[in-house]
Structure 1
């Protein structure tokens, strides 16, 4: 790769991960199609993107942990139950028609963005709900399902996690984005990348340093901005990105 294409890949990765860290998901909206555009096969691009996205979680982790927006117990719960679905999804990817799955996910994400738009007070304050054993159990089923989507598809699962945490458990958008960046960006994507490789996909190592740098810097900057903006601004960013990701998956 010459320096012009390398610069384009870095800038695209930086922007994609900045938006993702700010709104709670959607890095694959730009980063994954870039890898396809530069000529990687689908499975290789998917595995490479998953591994690179771990740097997004690393970049965002320090800022969010410093803010102490959530407990480590909550994060550990999200990591464990979601990872079950991620491993299942990574092993299902070769058996699922990608076009049909991505269109279905696109419809779901568009619906969630529209739902968030019309629920003006959603996620503006912390309103703890469903945090008894029954609520955590039912929430586990939802997170495992989203984990399957994360393991098998390229974009949008972080957005699903963000809204699920807001709607089911009553987190604010700031808290939900922080949890999503650390648990999904760092752990789910790391486990998903390993599982995809185990299932037979290959990582394209020569481009990985560029993607890791873009993901880390974008995640760091996006996390910093998310702590400075209000829940209203983050909610708006979330809704804009769900619209873009949903349309991208549909067409």
Structure 2
């Protein structure tokens, strides 16, 4: 493929993938990661390249959400402290994880997230803080640690898990949960994973500028749509993207 055409394909796929990801709370890898492989990158190179680019999704979302009063500093620090070590461990362990069973398990769990959200009609429609005691933070922190490990080791859909944990366990509405997912998971967790993967794997650096541009603009646009449309739209987008990500993992 012509190098200029490659750059155009990468930019468009990144913009579309990250717009939907910012609206749904995760799933940029549904489009962006397979496109990188389709264009000829080996799995490990595509993973590292995608992870680096995904940091700009978090930056774009952060720029938009910082205009809203949705994020509590102490809770954001909690997610940061719990998640960063898990992401680093996952990134280091990715070479030792059997790909086939991991993808199957993740696919079924991801589809399950969407089905569960669909069946719970009022889930995430109102902000009702819950499990903010010591026991609640221990359990919730453990769940987020697992998601952080997956975030470091698997490319597709882990932000969706974080979003649902924030909604279901900690009682957030979808809009507020999305803010934390984009800021903490998108920018900081993905940033930590990107650094580790860049050190242990090759990266397609020539595609990074257009990927960063598409991710940033998509993150901002998707966040703007989420804030504009509200919890009902975010919930429906979350359900659609989780099922699509799960099917993509099942079908390869």
Structure 2 segments unaligned to the other structure (5+ residues): none
**Corresponding pairs, count:** 250
Structure 1 segments unaligned to the other structure (5+ residues): none
| Counterpart position of 1:95 | 96
Q: Does 1:206 align with 2:188?
A: no
| Counterpart position of 2:45 | 44
Task: Report how far residue 2 of structure 1 moved.
Answer: 2.2
Question: What CA distance in whole angstroms lies between the structure 2 residues aligned with 1:30 and 1:177?
Answer: 20
Question: What CA distance in whole angstroms lies between the structure 2 residues aligned with 1:84 and 1:68?
Answer: 28
| Counterpart position of 2:241 | 241
| Counterpart position of 1:171 | 172
Question: Aligned with 1:67: secondary structure?
Answer: coil
Task: Provide TM-score, normalisation by structure 1.
Answer: 0.97
Q: Does 1:192 align with 2:193?
A: yes
Question: What CA distance in whole angstroms lies between the structure 2 residues aligned with 1:84 and 1:120?
Answer: 34
| Counterpart position of 1:5 | 6
Task: Report how far residue 24 of structure 1 moved.
Answer: 0.3
Question: Aligned with 2:128: secondary structure?
Answer: coil
Q: Does 1:152 align with 2:147?
A: no
Task: Provide TM-score, normalisation by structure 2.
Answer: 0.97
Question: What CA distance in whole angstroms lies between the structure 2 residues aligned with 1:236 and 1:35?
Answer: 27
Task: Report how far residue 39 of structure 1 moved.
Answer: 0.7
Moved more, 70-79 or 150-159: 70-79
Question: Aligned with 1:39: secondary structure?
Answer: coil
Question: What CA distance in whole angstroms lies between the structure 2 residues aligned with 1:242 and 1:206?
Answer: 30
Task: Report how far residue 102 of structure 1 moved.
Answer: 1.3
- Which string of whole-angstrom CA distances, capped at 9 and with x for unpartnered residues, describes residues 77-122 of structure 1? 1111011210111111000111221111010000111000000000
| Counterpart position of 1:228 | 228
